[in-house]
Each structure stands twice: as structure tokens, then as C-alpha cells.
């Protein structure tokens, strides 16, 4: 596996080694020793799987308490995956990074606790898989508006297309009013 730092420290793009032959492919999506050697010593407690149609945008989600680290990847389709640094003491506080995760590139992204997370489906549909380091805590769940002008996220939406969002995501609060991490 290759562990490539992104523009935001602690957010890591992971490129697994793919073994392909006429039967198909195989790769390790998690190997504790390799991740620990790369500085990601995570204990996962839950695996999640969502399926979404083209132009669905989920996020930007986080939990202010019981903050979750997430190891995210796409099994089928493609998404533009975004994380926003909510760590007030971080030099990249309020900055975002976005990467394309797809069934073709098989890349994964490590999103440490302290970040809001969201994604936009680029393909006809996408199966999105993520492992989390803490349990879902609805009382501590927070959402930041995906289109917040203060964040100015470069979502790759086709011209004139409004993404499909949940009611919660569509009425989310602004970044400047959000609860942040220390």
C-alpha cells in the first residue's frame, strides 16, 4: 500500500496494491500493521455501506462528541469525496480537500476525527463503504451546509444541476456557526 499525504495534514490518500488476473482482482482494504506503520492507529467499531444515485450529495457530516475517524472507499461507481478541517488549532482550520474515489482507482481516504465529511456521486450510482472509529451518536451529530460560500468547495456538479440532498443536509447550518473541535 502507498500512503500519500494530502494538502491537509493527517488526511491520507491510500493506494492499495491490486492483484489482477483473468479471474478478477484482490486487494487488502485494511491491514492493521501497514496502517499503523503509516501513522494510522485506528480501532474500528462499525462498517457502513450506502448506495446513492448520480448527483446525490451527502454531507458535510461530523459528530462533535464521539468524533469518528473514517476509512472511506467506493466499491462500485465514483464519488468526489470531501473533508473539511474543523480543528480550531490546526493551521488548515476551515480548509477542505477533495479526491475522486472510484471502483477503477480503488483508492481509499483516511479521514481522522476532527473533520466534516461529505461526497458527491459522479457515476450513475455508487456504493460507498466506510469504517468508523466510534459509534453513531445522533445527539452529537452535526451538519454544515454543503454549499457554504465561506468554504467554497469545488463540487464537480454539471452546469445547472442541483444535487440531490436530504432535508437535513439541505437545511444545514453555516460553517461560521458550526461547533468546532479544539
Catalytic residues: 61, 130
CA–CA gap between residue 2 and residue 82 (Å, rounded): 20
Contact 139, 113 (CB under 8 A): no
At 128, list the grid cell: 460507498
Q: Spell out where the chain has E strands.
A: 2-5, 12-15, 19-21, 24-26, 46-53, 57-63, 70-76, 78-85, 96-102, 108-111, 115-121, 125-132, 141-143
Q: What is the CA radius of gyration of the chain?
A: 16
- Residue 133: name the closest of 113, 158, 109 by CA: 113
Amino acid at each position: 500500500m502507498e500512503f500519500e499525504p494530502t494538502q491537509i495534514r493527517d488526511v491520507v490518500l491510500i493506494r492499495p496494491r491490486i492483484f489482477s488476473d483473468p479471474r478478477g482482482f484482490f486487494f487488502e482494504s485494511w491491514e492493521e500493521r501497514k496502517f499503523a506503520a503509516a501513522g494510522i492507529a485506528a480501532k474500528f467499531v462499525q462498517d457502513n455501506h450506502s448506495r446513492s444515485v448520480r448527483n446525490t450529495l451527502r454531507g458535510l457530516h461530523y459528530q462533535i462528541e464521539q468524533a469518528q475517524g473514517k476509512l472511506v472507499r467506493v466499491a462500485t461507481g465514483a464519488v468526489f469525496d470531501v473533508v473539511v478541517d474543523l480543528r480550531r488549532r490546526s493551521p488548515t482550520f476551515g480548509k477542505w480537500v477533495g479526491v475522486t474515489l472510484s471502483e477503477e482507482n480503488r483508492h481509499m481516504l483516511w479521514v481522522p476525527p476532527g473533520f466534516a465529511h461529505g461526497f458527491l456521486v459522479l457515476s450513475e450510482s455508487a456504493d460507498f463503504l466506510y469504517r468508523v472509529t466510534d459509534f453513531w451518536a445522533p445527539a452529537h451529530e452535526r451538519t454544515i451546509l454543503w454549499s457554504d460560500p465561506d468554504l467554497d468547495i469545488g463540487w464537480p456538479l454539471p452546469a445547472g444541476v442541483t444535487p440531490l440532498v436530504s432535508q437535513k443536509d439541505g437545511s444545514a447550518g453555516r460553517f461560521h456557526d458550526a461547533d468546532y473541535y479544539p
